[in-house]
Structure 1
Amino acid sequence: MGGSKHLVSSVREELDGLLPLYPLCSIYKVPERLRRVSQKAYAPKVVSIGPLHHGKEHLKPMEEHKMRYLQQYLRRTQINLEDYIRKIREQEAGLRSCYAETIAFSSDEFVRIILVDVAFLIEVLLRFRFRQLSEENDRLFNRPWMFEDLWMDLLLLENQLPFFILEDCFDADIMQRSSNLSERLSLIDLSHFFFTNKIQIKETEGNLEIIRSSQVAHLVDFCRSIYLPLKPSATRGPAPKTTPRITELNRAGVKFKLGSSSDLFNIQFSSGVLEIPKLAISDQLEITIKNLIALEQTDCMETIVSDYAFIINRLVKTSKDVELLVSNEILENGLGSISAAAAVINNLADGLTVDPEDCCYGTILKDLNEHCSKPWHQWREYLRKHLLHSWATKKTIGAVVLLVLIFIQTICLLIFIGLLG
């Protein structure tokens, strides 16, 4: 009986210690089904942001630099360190609840992590927009190779701070006045300038207006909001179990056209033409898309990025598929190797789950299947497989075609002579 009382007391104490669930919980550990494909796409290389990767040995060299950014931020805002600590401590319960994982750091440790990283992120965004704010010996902005690694760390789902605490610690008026800036910019404006320049997304002003009127969870959520189309172009529907890949579609007479839209997701199929917006294959693209997918797979009802990875993975399976899209200027291969580009595309969809009954590109996939199932296209493929492949050289093909033409000409001539007779 005594043992039972102890267990009851222990469980009750654990239950009483549970924090209330916060409605904006949005920072998650990447699901293992996604992580096992590419660990490097989710792990920070240079800097930890927030508590999930804080303290890892290879990230410690950046901690001193982050403290220098905090020092400069305090000078810039002329606000007491005590005031910032109090502001963050008042929000501690809400901040902890934004993370799906239980944060083991003590209250002081947690508040310190958030404080340093808030100042660091704001300083990075400010210095990127106003380069004159960088100090002469700034190790990040004066060393491009280091900054390239760092900014991609800001795209990682596990490496985030809740956006509301950044906004709470940022005062646009104070910033403009203290730093003699020519513009009064919000944190939304600074984030937009940063990511549209680094990710090189165009025509996002409409998205920016929507973002201003909505609740941003963190910087990955911000980037996804920039990427999302204002008006979805594809018709949702059930996706067929299989789809011909690019080279098979080509053999069935499908033409490929570079899409004119800046909307990456605006894939269209009409009158035998598959139109795909330009896709630039790079390490940065892999990290960006994978972390947007990770966000969708953990915290979103809509899965347009996941659905995009799903259709691209269906269409592109081999190096031959990549070569065909490169030749049509649809793919831009920044990796050099065709096989490496094919591997990146194949890996985008590994581990993700999509609803096969409600896919953004379900109707397009269905139309592609129907196109390839028509008798003429089936005959064309049969001819290619069983006849053209059996001919050894182009000269042989040319000779056979010439014989066929001569035969047809002879028949026509005989018919014409018969009519005259």
Structure 2
Amino acid sequence: MIQESVKRLLHHVNNEDNHTHQFPPSIYMVPSILRDLSPSSFNPQLVSIGPLHREDENVKAFERQKISYLINLMSYINSPQEEILESCMQKAYSVMNKIKGCYIWTKAFTDSEIAEMMVMDACFMLGFMIEINPLLSENSYMGKQLQLGTIMHDLMLLENQIPLFFLDEMFQLTVMKLRSDISFIQLIKPVIVCNNLFEAELKFDNVSFGTSDHFLSLLHQCYMPPDNIKKDNSTKIIHSAIDLDRAGVIFKPSEDPTWVMGIEVKQNRFPCLFWYWNRPTVTMPVLSVDDSTEFLFRNLIAYEQSFQTQSYLSSYSFAMNMLVNTQDDVAKLVESKVLVNITGSNEEVANMLNNIGKNVTCVDSYYEQEWEILNKYCNGYWPNHIATMRRTYFSSPWSIIALVAGMILFVLQVLQTIFSIKSQRIE
């Protein structure tokens, strides 16, 4: 029995498929602990890319449309179509082990099935990006605008990727024959920019890609902090936005930030005895919240939680979860112009920001120094007491009315007392 078990284990060790992972697989099904919180955030709505959602019923209808993109891509290129497709297939077979090593497979496919799948999906993506790029095509987009947005979003799902290195190989064999002056990054940039979470412009200067990269990991790279941004253990808890506002904290949008997700606390360099002039200002990136915000956050965070990479999106979501407890916090951030709410409901935004961090482990924080400054300020005598007073007497219209009524009643009682004293003296 022991020998049989050893043989089975040795079979797994010596299995050729298990030696294709030169790098950790970067395209996989999201762990159920995150997936079950919002399955729709990880499932493609219209188009399947790669093997993981190939059998989904809702994406099968689009498979026929991929052929039209393949035909259009071939028609753009002034070369024999058979020759181009043959070179594409040869390239797919030559890098087959690298392709296999990028996935955690959920179903067995033959090499020929994988090669055809990769070439078809890559050609569809290239054809689609040519269609939406005005530099490459004078034709309008073939699909409807709703379909355009859905494809853009589907291309960013963690479970719906093909390796970027292979897409680049297909680019070299096809699009480069059409326009040699367009780089691969220039071609794919519109898809990445369309899925930007923030209003600040994404910078691609330091972006590079290797064997384990794909569209989602490229977007993740665009949010990478500079080397001088230090990370610490995530231990400090801060007040919500509305409580910070009551203590006198000011929120402002970041202007020309060095890091697109940077949060900075600025204080008066010359301390003043008067509380008003010592109020800190929190500069933040402008977060644009729409229907795609939740799925982008969830996919980026799932990528961080499962792949060997830094967790700066998880750190940012943890920070926003602390700042936002209720719709009042969202309203304050919208009023301060550090959050743009396109969904229309502050309550929905608050629920989304509170839920995207569930079951997420966030060990590293990139904002600990800022939180230390805010906590030190809020624990000061005047900010603490002023926040308490504003929370007690100015938290709602009714409390303000009650305070004003009480003050009027007090003044009337004082006046009545004065008149009573004067009348007694006259008598």
TM range (shorter): 0.7 to 0.9
- Cα deviation code 1:296-328 (max 9, x no counterpart): 112243211111111011111111101111112
| Aligned: 1:395 with 2:407 | no
Over the matched positions of the two proteins, sequence identity in percent amounts to 25
Residue 340 of structure 2 is matched in structure 1 by: 332
* Cα offset, 1:12, TM superposition: 3.0
Amino acid paired to 2:162: L
Counterpart CA distance in 2 for 1:201 and 1:166 is 28
Residue 248 of structure 2 is matched in structure 1 by: 253
Do the aligned partners of residues 383 and 275 (structure 1) sit closer, same or farther apart at CA in structure 2, a change above 3 Å counting?
same
| Aligned: 1:279 with 2:303 | no
Residue 320 of structure 1 is matched in structure 2 by: 328
Counterpart CA distance in 1 for 2:137 and 2:387 is 62
Do the aligned partners of residues 104 and 397 (structure 1) sit closer, same or farther apart at CA in structure 2, a change above 3 Å counting?
farther
Residue 415 of structure 1 is matched in structure 2 by: none
- The worse-fitting range, judged by mean Cα deviation, of 309-318 and 264-273 is 264-273
Which of 10, 13, 17 lines up with 1:12 in the alignment?
Answer: 10
Counterpart CA distance in 1 for 2:58 and 2:393 is 60
Residue 54 of structure 2 is matched in structure 1 by: 54
SS of structure 2 residue aligned to 1:119: helix
SS of structure 1 residue aligned to 2:234: coil
SS of structure 2 residue aligned to 1:169: helix
Which of 343, 349, 367 lines up with 1:361 in the alignment?
Answer: 367
Residue 149 of structure 1 is matched in structure 2 by: 150
| Aligned: 1:191 with 2:188 | yes
Counterpart CA distance in 1 for 2:113 and 2:119 is 10
- Cα deviation code 1:106-161 (max 9, x no counterpart): 2222222111111111111222113774768xxx6331111111110011111111
Aligned length, in residue pairs: 392
| Gaps in structure 2 of 5+ consecutive residues | 268-279, 416-427
* Cα offset, 1:224, TM superposition: 1.6
Counterpart CA distance in 1 for 2:317 and 2:135 is 36
Residue 418 of structure 1 is matched in structure 2 by: none
| Superposition RMSD in Å | 3.0
| Aligned: 1:295 with 2:303 | yes
What are the within-5 Å matches in structure 2 for residues 1-400 of structure 1?
6-17=4-15, 18-20=17-19, 21-23=21-23, 25-77=25-77, 78=79, 79-101=83-105, 103-130=107-134, 133=137, 141-171=142-172, 175=175, 177-178=177-178, 181=179, 184-197=181-194, 199=196, 202-204=200-202, 207-212=203-208, 217-230=213-226, 235-261=230-256, 263-271=259-267, 272-355=280-363, 358-384=364-390, 392-393=401-402, 395-396=404-405, 399=408
Is the CA contact (8 Å cut-off) linking 1:88 and 1:114 kept in structure 2? yes
Is the CA contact (8 Å cut-off) linking 2:102 and 2:212 kept in structure 1? no
SS of structure 2 residue aligned to 1:83: helix
SS of structure 1 residue aligned to 2:288: strand
TM-score (norm 1): 0.83
Do the aligned partners of residues 213 and 294 (structure 1) sit closer, same or farther apart at CA in structure 2, a change above 3 Å counting?
closer
| Gaps in structure 1 of 5+ consecutive residues | 407-421
Is the CA contact (8 Å cut-off) linking 2:53 and 2:160 kept in structure 1? yes
- Cα deviation code 1:167-216 (max 9, x no counterpart): 112228x63554xx5x7112111112332245376544xx3221258777
Counterpart CA distance in 2 for 1:397 and 1:278 is 41
Counterpart CA distance in 1 for 2:169 and 2:410 is 75
* Cα offset, 1:81, TM superposition: 2.4
Is the CA contact (8 Å cut-off) linking 2:250 and 2:281 kept in structure 1? yes
Is the CA contact (8 Å cut-off) linking 1:254 and 1:273 kept in structure 2? yes
Counterpart CA distance in 2 for 1:387 and 1:286 is 36
Counterpart CA distance in 2 for 1:166 and 1:51 is 15
- The worse-fitting range, judged by mean Cα deviation, of 52-61 and 368-377 is 368-377
SS of structure 1 residue aligned to 2:318: helix
Amino acid paired to 1:278: V
Counterpart CA distance in 2 for 1:237 and 1:362 is 6
Is the CA contact (8 Å cut-off) linking 1:50 and 1:114 kept in structure 2? yes
* Cα offset, 1:5, TM superposition: 5.1
Do the aligned partners of residues 30 and 198 (structure 1) sit closer, same or farther apart at CA in structure 2, a change above 3 Å counting?
closer
Counterpart CA distance in 1 for 2:67 and 2:394 is 69
Amino acid paired to 1:321: D
Is the CA contact (8 Å cut-off) linking 2:98 and 2:211 kept in structure 1? no
SS of structure 1 residue aligned to 2:252: strand
